[in-house]
């Protein structure tokens, strides 16, 4: 099994950056496990904003500005990995804004 990963750092606003961590395992050209996490870094703190992963034995996503509970996804791992990477790159700034609006009690 081959394990791969990378991290992207994207500017969001003055003093804030988005960190996008991507990791996956492959076997015979099929994704067997993956995780994509979007967090916002502010000063010396990190806040998880969005995550999609296959941990806990099933594919699910967390939209932390909406709920702490995961939402189960009904799609194949290869399809989810490709589609969710596109969705994240298109929406991460909007998601961070939503997170900040809905999490001001601990985001500050």
For residues 16-40, average pLDDT: 95
Residue 70 within any structural domain of the chain = yes
pTM summary value: 0.91
Whether 107 is in a domain gets the answer no
Torsion angle of the four alpha carbons 86, 32, 61, 100, in this order, in degrees rounded to the nearest 10? -60
- CA–CA separation, 50 and 88 (whole Å): 9
Residue 108 lies in a domain: no
Our count of domains for the chain comes to 1
Asked whether residue 31 is domain-assigned, the answer is yes
pLDDT of residue 104: 63
Say if residues 107 and 47 touch (Cβ distance below 8 Å). yes
The pLDDT of residue 15: 76
Answer yes or no: is 106 within a domain.
Answer: no
Mean residue pLDDT across the chain? 92
On whether residue 9 sits in a domain, the answer given is: yes
Range of the domain at 37: 2-101
Q: E strands, the chain, where?
A: 2-13, 16-27, 30-42, 45-53, 60-63, 71-72
Half-sphere exposure of 5 (CA within 13 A, CB side): 10
Whether the pLDDT of residue 108 is over 80: the answer is: no
């Amino acid at each position: 099994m081959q394990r791969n990963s990378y991290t992207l750092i994207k500017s969001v606003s003055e003093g804030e950056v988005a960190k996008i961590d991507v990791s996956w395992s492959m076997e015979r050209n099929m994704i067997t496990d993956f995780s994509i996490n979007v967090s916002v870094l502010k000063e010396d703190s990190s806040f998880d904003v969005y995550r999609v992963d296959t941990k806990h034995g099933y594919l699910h996503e967390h939209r932390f500005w909406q709920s702490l509970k995961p939402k189960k996804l009904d799609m194949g791992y290869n399809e989810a990995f490709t589609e969710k990477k596109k969705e994240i790159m298109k929406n991460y700034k909007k998601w961070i804004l939503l997170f900040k609006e809905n999490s001001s009690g601990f985001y500050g």
